[in-house]
Amino acid sequence: MPDVGEGLTEAEILKWYVKPGDTVTDGQVVCEVETAKAAVELPIPFDGVVHELRFPEGETVDVGTVIIAVDTGEGDAGEAAAEAAAEPAAAPAPAAEPEQKRQPVLVGYGVAASSTKRRPRKQPAVPAQTPARQAVQGELNGHAPAPAAVAPVPAAAASFAPAEVRPLAKPPVRKLAKDLGVDLATVAPTGPQGTITREDVQRAVAPAAAPAAPAQVPVAAQAVSAPTAPAAAAGALETRVPIKGVRKATAAAMVASAFTAPHVTEFVTFDITRTMRLVQELKTDPAFAGLKVSPLLLVAKALLVAIRRNPEVNAAWDEANQEIVHKGYVNLGIAAATPRGLIVPNIKDAQGKTLPELASALGDLVATAREGRTSPADMQGGTVTITNVGVFGIDTGTPILNPGESAILAFGAVKELPWVHKGKVKPRQVTTLALSFDHRLVDGELGSKVLADVAAVLEYPKRLITWA
């Protein structure tokens, strides 16, 4: 698994585009992975034939782990590795092994043959299981007991072993069993060397999910088990979802931001009628042909004007060097809700873009985010962010800062309300803005000026010209 972004340590395999036996060429995309920030397609760096996919779809893999083996035709290293993986642990080792070449992998220079000889895993002695015990084990795992010709089940997976032996299973399988409430000691393994696989755990859950035929239970037993019925019913109505990918990264970032930067949020409610009219006029302007013009576009431009008038707000807190870093560029973040969770890509150097250029960049950014194709680089280096909660009909909120940024502006819903206009109460389009800022960097006076300037531009959009 290559390093597909700054500071990323793992990624989930979303989809394989190849299978064993397929021919691949240098640069061909072989799989799609999801990091904590985005979905990324991975190319293969050489030509050859796919020999093995080391991990299934849905598996989370650490960076640097081999995920695919390819036979490049430079020897039988790939096939030798496959045969070694397929042999049972108890198979006798050959007297002499030919020297093996490095096996081609997705990253690095390949895996060299180990110079050490691993001793076969010692299996503890297991008392012979009676037919009754085998029947119970089969019932627990959702399948019939193994035929007599099959080797005895290792003690690590036997539920009736006299000694306490830890079942053999990979960490993802252990986590799956924990999430599903399955005791690995009751699961019969089918993997190599007596390891428990994901399928073993899922088969063990199947009988519990299927309705069981009513059995006669003594009255005393019914009385004891009755109090547990509500808990079992509640568990059946709960769904557990692993915390990973974008959700995991968002949670960590929000906790770090909320408990590191002292947040202050200010609000302003104002008449945005003139801006809404301007939006309709711009939609017919030839300069915006093929571009999406929305109120968010003018909110973004108003925020850029406010930052130009109050440049001190565009800064970052450097805890390590005990410095405030003032930035001469604005990387404007736009919070985007995607099927994988909330992400905040940013428009680089937004301060120098014209309104049509800003509209084009904004449209590309949102479309790419919703398709799940935002690159990690597009989410790095943001300075301020806008979140549009108004699209959900929400008046406003108290947004949490994106880590490393100084401010975030929430744009609320635009509603027609009675408003005093030129001395008379008239129906006008009204909205509310909320600005959260890092109080280490931004004093109340500075934050108030920035928010007031944004509102002033949107109330009288001609200030986009006079203040520019």
Catalytic residues: 439
Q: Is the dihedral of CA 220, 221, 226, 227 positive or negative?
A: positive
136: tokens are 């119970």
SS3 content of the chain, % helix, strand, coil (to 5): 35, 20, 45
Cα separation, 204 vs 209, in Å, equals 10
Cα separation, 26 vs 412, in Å, equals 49
Cα separation, 72 vs 50, in Å, equals 9
124: tokens are 């503890």
Helical pair 295-309 and 273-283, crossing angle rounded to 10 deg = 120
Cα separation, 66 vs 59, in Å, equals 13
Distance (Å) of CA 62 to CA 40, 59, 93, 298, 413:
15, 10, 31, 43, 42
Segment holding 334, helix H or strand E: strand 332-334
Amino acid at 439: H
Report DSSP letters for 114-128, one per residue.
Answer: PSSPPPPPPPPP-PP
Partners of 417 in the beta sheet? Answer: 428
Classify each residue of 130-162 as buried b or exposed e, where b means 16 or more C-beta atoms within 10 Å of its C-beta.
eeeebebbeebbbbebeeeeeeebbbbbbbebe
21 secondary structure, DSSP code: T
394: tokens are 């929400």
Q: Are 457 and 463 in contact (CB under 8 A)?
A: yes
372 secondary structure, DSSP code: T
**Dihedral, 181, 186, 190, 192 alpha carbons, nearest 10:** 90
DSSP three-state, residue 362: helix
Q: Are 369 and 361 in contact (CB under 8 A)?
A: no
